[in-house]
Chain A
Amino acid sequence: MVQKLDTLIESPSQTAGPYVHIGTVPTYAGLGGIYEQEIGDSPIADGAKGEVITITGTVADATGWVLRDAMFETWQPDAAGKFAGDAGADPAVSGWSRVCADPESGEWTLKTVKPGSTTLRDGRVQAPHISVWLVARGINIGLQTRIYFEDEDNSADPLLNRIEQRPRVDTLIAKRTGDGEYRFDIRIAGPQETVFLDI
C-alpha cells in the first residue's frame, strides 16, 4: 500500500433546479420578507468610483430559446482593479451581485462600474472583465464565463489568447450599444456557443 494523501476531493455539484430563487433571491420567488436583508441586489453602492455602466442580455439554450429561469452571479474588482478586501479597494464596490432573467422576457440587466484591469502573479495583465457563474435547472455544474468590453484593449489578455478558434473570442465581449450601455448574450450551446471556462 502506498502512503495515504491528506487531501480531500471537492463535493460533487448538482443542478440548482427550477427553484434556485427560493434559496438565493427569495423576493423573486415570492418569499419577500423572510430575510431582513437580502443579498446580492447590486455590486455597487452610491458613490462608487469609475464609470457606471449597464449591461443587458439574455441566456439562450442550444435551440436559441431564451431561458426565463436563469440566475447568475457576477464578481469583479473596482474601477482601479482592486477586489473588495484588497488594501485600498473602493468601499462602495462589493463587486458581487446576483442577476435574474426577467420571468416574462428572459432579459437581464446588470448595473455596475466598469472594472479595472488586474495583474497575474507572473506579471501578465488581464483586460478588464466581470466573472460570471451561471446556474439553472438542467445545468448540472455551474458554468463559468467572463464579460469583457468591446471598447477596451483585449489584445494581450492571457485568457482570451488561449482561445484557439479566434472568432469564438467574440462571445466573451460585450458590445457597446450607447453611452455606458452594453449588450452581452450568453448562449449555452448551439451556433455561437459562449466560451465557458474551467479555471
Chain B
Amino acid sequence: MTDQSPLIPRNREMHPVPYYPDYKTSVARSPSLPLISMESTPSEETGPRFGHNKLGALDNNLILNWTKGAAPAVGERVLMHGRVLDENNRPVPNTLIEIWQANAGGRYRHIKDTYFAPLDPNFGGCGRTITDENGRYEFLTIRPGAYPWPNRGNEWRPMHIHISVFGHAFGQRLITQMYFEGDPLIDRCPIAATIRERSQLDRLVAPLDMASARPMDFLAYKFDIVLRGRRQTMFENKMEGM
C-alpha cells in the first residue's frame, strides 16, 4: 500500500533563490510574481514508478556504458554512492536516479557544447539506476573536469555531477548537483551561490569516502539525497461542512 498523505510543504528558505543576477540566465528565467501555495493534491501525491525491466546492466556504469563495455573512459575512477531519504528520515526504495556530467576534460557530449577540450570516444556522460529496498544507489564514473562557461568575465563551474531524482510523488521531483569536497571553485561559482545558506550548499558537497574506495581501482564519494516527506498525523480534519 502506498502512503498518500499530504506532502510536507517545501521549505523554500534553503532552496536557491530563483532570481540571482550574478547567474545571468536566471534573470529572465525566474517568475516575478509569487507562487500560489496550496496543500498537495492527488496530482502531486502520486507519481510515475519505474521498474528494473527498463534498465540495462551497464546503465549505472558511466566508465563502460557508452562503449557497451568495450573500452573504459579516461579519467580518475570514482564510485558515487549514497542513499535517498525523505524528510521523515525514511529510505526511499525503488526510485529512479539519473545523472549526467562532463568528461574528465570538462566537455559534455552535447551538440551545443563547443568547448575545445576533446570528447572522449569512450565516454557518453549519463547513467541511471534504481535505489534498492534501503534507498541505496551507486554509480561508477570518472571525476568530471571543471569547465569554463560564458557568464561573467572568467567563469568556471566546479567539478559537479547533475542528479535527477523522482521519489514516489510528482511533487517530490528534484534536480540538483553534487560537488566534490575540497574544490576551490565551489566558492567562486554563482550557480552554487544561488543557495544563500552556506550550510545548505555544504549538503551538496560529497565527502571523500575512503572506506568505500577500492584499492588500485577507484576512489569513492558519498552523496545522500533528501526528498520531501509526507505529513505524519493520526488526525484527519475535514473542511467545515463536509
Contacts and interface: CB of A to CB of B under 8 A. Distances in A.
A77 B238 CA distance: 24
- How extensive is the interface on chain A, given as a class? 35 or more
A22 B54 CA distance: 18
B174 to A, nearest CB: 6
Contacts of B23: 15, 138, 140
Interface residues of B, number: 87
B99 interface: yes
Contacts of A22: 100, 108-110, 125-126
Interface in A108-153: 118-124, 126, 129, 131, 133, 135-144, 146
B48 A189 contact: no
B158 to A, nearest CB: 11
Interface string A145-189: 010000000000011001100001000000000000000000011
Given A197-B38, A199-B44, A10 B174 contact: yes
A31 B126 contact: yes
Contact of A39 (B12, B50, B125, B174): B50
A185 to B, nearest CB: 15
Given A8-B85, A62-B27, A133 B110 contact: no
A92 interface: no
A182 B56 CA distance: 37
B-side interface mostly: loop
A99 B30 CA distance: 20
21 contacts: A7-B229, A8-B88, A10-B14, A10-B174, A14-B194, A14-B195, A16-B164, A20-B100, A21-B110, A35-B128, A83-B46, A85-B2, A120-B41, A122-B238, A131-B43, A138-B27, A140-B194, A141-B18, A189-B30, A198-B35, A199-B38
Interface of B: 2, 6-7, 9-12, 14-18, 20, 23, 25-33, 35-44, 46-50, 54, 56, 59, 65-66, 85-89, 98-100, 108-113, 124-126, 128, 162, 164, 170-171, 173-177, 191-192, 194-195, 200-201, 203-204, 225-229, 236, 238-239, 242
Given A83-B46, A188-B30, 19 more contacts: A8-B88, A10-B11, A10-B15, A11-B225, A11-B227, A14-B194, A16-B164, A18-B110, A19-B162, A36-B56, A65-B28, A75-B47, A120-B41, A138-B29, A140-B20, A158-B38, A159-B36, A188-B31, A198-B37
